[in-house]
A and B are shown apart, each in its own frame.
Chain A
Amino acid sequence: MSAGFDKKIHQTLADANLQLAIYTATGRLKDKRSESFAAAAMPDYQELRTQANALKKHAIENLDHYLEEFERNVESHGGKVVYCKDGTEVSDFVLGLAKERGARLIVKSKSMTTEEVDLNERLEHHGLESVETDLGEYILQLAQERPYHIVAPALHKTRFDVAGIFEKQLHVAYETEPEKLSQIARGVLRQKFLDAGIGITGANFLVADSGAVVIVENEGNARLTSTAPKIHIAIAGIEKIIPRAQDLAVFLKLLARSATGQALSVYTSFLSGPRRTDEIDGPDEFYVVLLDNGRTRLLPDRAKRQSLYCIRCAACLNTCPVYRKIGGHSFPWVYSGPIGAIITPQFMGVSHEPGLPFASSLCGACAEVCPVKIDIPQVLLDLRSEVKKSETREKKNRLEKFGYRVFAWMMTHPRAYAWAGWMARHAPVVKVGPVRAWTSQRDLPPMPRQSFRDIWSRR
């Protein structure tokens, strides 16, 4: 584990206000999710999960086929599909288009994929203004922070925090009423929507058979972003593909319930091209950027590629006893919680933060709530093994490796094991290493004089 990871965990645990904020907010989402999936409310929930898993598995295993189908259908509606291998290619495309069309202001709706490639920073670096329009994302953009949570990005901010941020960054009066705070943001953002040359959204689903981008949201900002400016660019990871429009009957039932406990989000938009001649609303140009950014690296691994099934509902974060303590910013990349712990090492490489797959008690609460049934603990175990293999190759952490070799020898030599156990129970407690770590938080159990095998042998 890196010192930075350790330090962020410590800082979050030590901040009592933050602890309360995270625990309360995730608890609320977790409870709402449970209510929405109660047997009385949704008797076929487990069946839907099984279907969702099978659909995602099929889509990922036939990604090439469905991406091409999607592309054909988008283009038949007058849209254009752009494949990008990384963040540089995404920003080059957006910058090029902005330059050609003379756009200086971009409005954005919530998208983890664009966070993944630091799109705002890249665009701003080239003199464009890129404004987040989801309220939570807007707050964080003003605070210059990255999302704390996949669905509720400003989950760690209280209304008092927001009041302070708005006062400082927007030069408005200190105002703590949530309704008034939203009015302030709305006042600023309305004009941005009207002035923007380009709207950038993410995508929750890319539907192959209809060439549609499906966006699920509650604030209406994604709908404005995708329709008010003359150009709409949807940026999505390639794994967002699903085969058929009818598959949405499965995914839309699961997504909002898993995320917030809503039966359906307030807005669900189906966008399948630029405005047609007989339509009043919609952009003149419609682009879908399909981003790889490491995703194809996961495809050859039969077990781990299930990580690409994720629909970013964040149910695993809300239920995770680790996330609920260490929060989102302790994680080394934009994706936090259990899903972050399995995709970060795969997208960025296991040595990006070797401690990450180990920061779990393997309790399995995440897999239990995952609507597409990703076996997160199993992937964590596989990643742990990869971290150790890579450490062995690089001759790192050799003392630990030696320790486990001794362990394996001891556990195959019962008399040596019994002797070591006797020594450990009878020797005075020395608070170093693991004993010190244990006793920093908890007391040790009383050491029995006799082991079970001692008692058994005297029966």
Chain B
Amino acid sequence: MGKRVSLFVTCLGDQLFPNAGMAVVEVLERLGYAVDFPKDQTCCGQPAFNSGYRDEARTVARHFLKTFESSEYIVVPSGSCTSMIGHHFADLFRKEPETLARVETLGRRVFEFATFLTEVANVEDVGARFDGIVTFHDGCHGLRELHIREAPRRLLARVRGLELREMLPAEECCGFGGTFSVKFAELSGAMARTKLEAILQTGANTVVSLDSSCLMQIQGALSRAGSSVRTMHLAEVLASR
């Protein structure tokens, strides 16, 4: 194949979850992609955008555009950041038609990691082996803004040794919500504990998701509750052999 992809590891992934980013690289390289990490990358600007600071978000979005504009494919291990770039960048540049056109072109080349595998690389079996009982948490932005539901499940179904047990409901928010998690900490915590009940009912020992942000919330709540259930990014499961 020898195709190139650029990795946008996300600020959270870069600073707090480097193993998930490395797992993305491992899976992509295993599939024959040359992975490039544009070193000027930082954040997509979502924290500012979701907090109502559009000017500041626009500044960060411009930086992202400059950093990734020459990339053929941009792979992002987060549904939420992918949606920010693919959908909400356009909201920021409504009054700048030229930038808007560039942002829309960029948006078509940005792929959430699982979707990239199933739709661009066109694979379901990445040769992974993972012995464990897994439950999958749908991140809200991936699910409702990008309509990603089947891709991760199809990938997980092909992992040797893995048993997937769906939680009820899998699609209910974990309560993270970015700055919401600290602005409305008590409410966010209550939402996390409801999510925890659904997770624990499955008897799974691992919670998998497409977003490290949801996993940080779920892991934090699991850990506080003294549970031994662990969280893993989908890429980490797919990188296991």
Footprint of B on A, CB under 8 Å? 1, 9-10, 13, 23, 321-322, 325-326, 355, 357-365, 367-368, 378, 381, 384-389, 400-401, 404-405, 407-408, 410-412, 414, 417, 421, 424-425, 433-434, 437-438, 440-445, 447-448, 450-457
Contact = CB atoms under 8 A, between A and B. Distances in A.
B219 A364 contact: no
Nearest to B143: A364
Tell me what chain A mostly uses at the interface: helix, strand, loop, or mixed.
Answer: helix
9 contacts: A9-B186, A361-B176, A363-B177, A364-B144, A388-B54, A412-B59, A414-B42, A441-B188, A448-B19
Given A13-B186, A360-B177, A408-B59, A381 B15 contact: no
B86 interface: no
A361 B43 contact: no
A455 B14 CA distance: 10
A29 to B, nearest CB: 15
B173 A411 contact: no
B34 interface: no
B91 interface: yes
Closest 10 CB pairs of A and B: A441-B189, A361-B177, A442-B220, A384-B52, A388-B52, A363-B173, A364-B144, A408-B56, A363-B140, A452-B18
B177 A362 contact: yes
B85 interface: no
A411 B48 CA distance: 11
A404 B48 CA distance: 6
Nearest to A357: B52
Contacts of B144: 363-365, 367-368
Contacts of A407: 47-48, 56, 60
Contacts of B171: 365
Interface in B7-45: 9, 11, 13-19, 21-22, 37, 39-43, 45
A401 B53 contact: yes
Given A381-B49, A451-B14, A361 B175 contact: yes
Nearest to B14: A452
A132 B21 CA distance: 60
Interface string B200-233: 0000000000000000110111011000000000
B42 to A, nearest CB: 4
B51 interface: yes
B187 interface: yes
Nearest to B16: A445
Contact of B15 (A326, A389, A425, A433): A425
B51 A384 contact: yes
Nearest to B25: A456
A439 B207 CA distance: 21
Contacts of B188: 361, 441
Given A321-B173, A412-B59, A438-B185, A364 B140 contact: yes
B183 A1 contact: yes
A404 B184 contact: no
Contacts, number: 197
A433 B185 CA distance: 11
A225 B143 CA distance: 45
B141 interface: yes
Contacts of B52: 357-358, 381, 384-389
A322 B187 contact: yes
A13 B173 CA distance: 17
B123 interface: no
Contacts of B105: none
B235 to A, nearest CB: 12
Contacts of B178: 361-362
Given A363-B177, A412-B60, A438-B181, 7 more contacts: A13-B186, A362-B178, A407-B56, A414-B40, A440-B189, A442-B224, A456-B37
Contact of B63 (A359, A368, A412, A445): A412
Contacts of A452: 9, 13-15, 17-18, 21-22
B177 A442 contact: no
A455 B43 CA distance: 18
Contacts of B187: 9, 13, 322, 325-326, 359
Interface stretch (B68-76, B108-116, B154-162, B190-198): B190-198
Contact of B190 (A13, A387, A421, A448): A13
A434 B182 contact: yes
B219 A421 contact: no
Interface in B99-140: 140
Contacts of B177: 360-363
Contacts of A438: 181-182, 185, 220
B39 A453 contact: yes
B140 A365 contact: yes
Nearest to B55: A408
A338 B196 CA distance: 23
Given A364-B140, A404-B53, A445 B216 contact: yes
Nearest to A401: B53
Contacts of A358: 51-52, 179-180, 183-184
Contact of A385 (B40, B54, B140, B186): B54
Nearest to A386: B52
Contacts of A384: 50-52
B163 interface: no
Contacts of B194: 23, 321, 325
Contact of B192 (A326, A386, A441): A441
Nearest to B212: A445
Nearest to B215: A445
